[in-house]
DNA sequence: ATATTATTGCGATTATATCGCATTAATAAA
DNA sequence: TTTATTAATGCGATATAATCGCAATAATAT
């Protein structure tokens, strides 16, 4: 299955990389306007996640947010960090601190998804 | 605004209390059958959260789960614990360990929502 | 017993995300 | 360069979770 480089892909990847925050589909659509179809954006984002170019986080608002993998090198993907969502301005950011996952015996973790919602410095 | 005790309310509260896991709307509806309306279940759960009888957690699957507040006494509600969702059997449980929320200066936290998904001991 | 109104049931609606399928276009092959 | 292959796209339909409007019901105060 040969991957192809398309206009949509590069536009979306650029948007992800340019943003210092995690972005929702809505945000990307707004950024790109009608130049890229809604379904295409979803599909490209899903592919990015599969390919390990981006990671997906499910917000405590139930929506999906995406962020480019910056520190992940090779096939090592670990995203054990929290995210902050501002209840006022809506922005979502990756927090620096890594979270140590402590699980009772027998549990096999596959993914971590953590959110703190509240008010960011600009909105507090 | 006087709160009233209704059949739906007690049925749903009982379901919450009897369950050792966090439950979704779907689960409650299945438990209660058609005796309680879908919208009513949602509304009762929302009221429980407002009243501090239950707490809501948004799963990394984007769905809402609810658990009765057991250790919360009075108006002190702190739910800084992680949840585990099994990718195979779908169950969601509250994990014992409390998470310490470290935020950069200026951030005002309001709510914590954390999930680890993977495989539970029974499914691993 | 009666009045008040919180709560319910039901259908319609919103919101987020995915799917099916014909068409387009990126890349490989000739 | 031209042609063939098929990954990726556009568009409308569909799926799923949750909320809303409003008339009817029923819990509680009087
Ligand atoms: Mn990564
Ligand atoms: Mn509580
Ligand atoms: Zn803000
Ligand atoms: Zn399981």
Cβ B116–A101 below 8 Å, yes or no?
yes
Is residue A1 very low, low, confident or very high in pLDDT (cuts 50, 70, 90)? low
**Domains of chain B (ranges, CATH numbers):** 7-118 (1.10.10.10)
pLDDT digit string (tens) for A39-89?
999 999 999 999 999 999 999 999 999 999 988 876 678 889 999 999 999
What whole-number distance in Å separates Cα of residue B23 and Cα of residue A124?
Answer: 33
The residue-averaged pLDDT of A93-106 equals: 91
Name the residue among B110, B79, B61 with its Cα closest to residue A117. Answer: B110
B7 CB-contact burial (10 Å; exposed 0-12 / middle 13-18 / buried 19+): exposed
Interface of B with A in 43-102 (CB under 8 A): 58-64, 82, 84, 87, 95-97, 99, 101-102
Nearest protein residue to nucleotide D9, judged by CA and C1' positions: A40
Residue B79: the pLDDT is 87
Q: What is the mean pLDDT of chain A?
A: 94
CA B69 / ligand 2 centre spacing (Å): 4
What whole-number distance in Å separates Cα of residue A56 and Cα of residue B88?
Answer: 20
Q: Are A15 and A32 in contact (CB under 8 A)?
A: yes
The binding site of B for Zn(2+) comprises 86, 89
pTM of the model: 0.94
Residue B64: the pLDDT is 98
């Amino acid at each position: 299955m040969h991957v192809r480089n398309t206009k949509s892909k590069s536009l979306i990847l650029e948007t992800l990389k340019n943003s210092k925050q995690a972005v929702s589909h809505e945000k990307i659509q707004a950024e790109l306007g009608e130049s890229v179809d809604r379904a295409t954006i979803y599909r490209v984002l899903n592919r990015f996640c599969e390919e390990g170019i981006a990671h997906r986080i499910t917000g405590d608002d139930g929506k999906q947010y995406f962020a480019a993998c910056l520190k992940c090198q090779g096939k090592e993907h670990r995203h054990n960090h929290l995210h902050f969502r501002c209840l006022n301005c809506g922005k979502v950011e990756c927090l620096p601190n890594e979270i140590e996952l402590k699980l009772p015996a027998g549990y096999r973790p596959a993914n971590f998804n953590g959110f703190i919602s509240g008010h960011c410095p600009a909105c507090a």
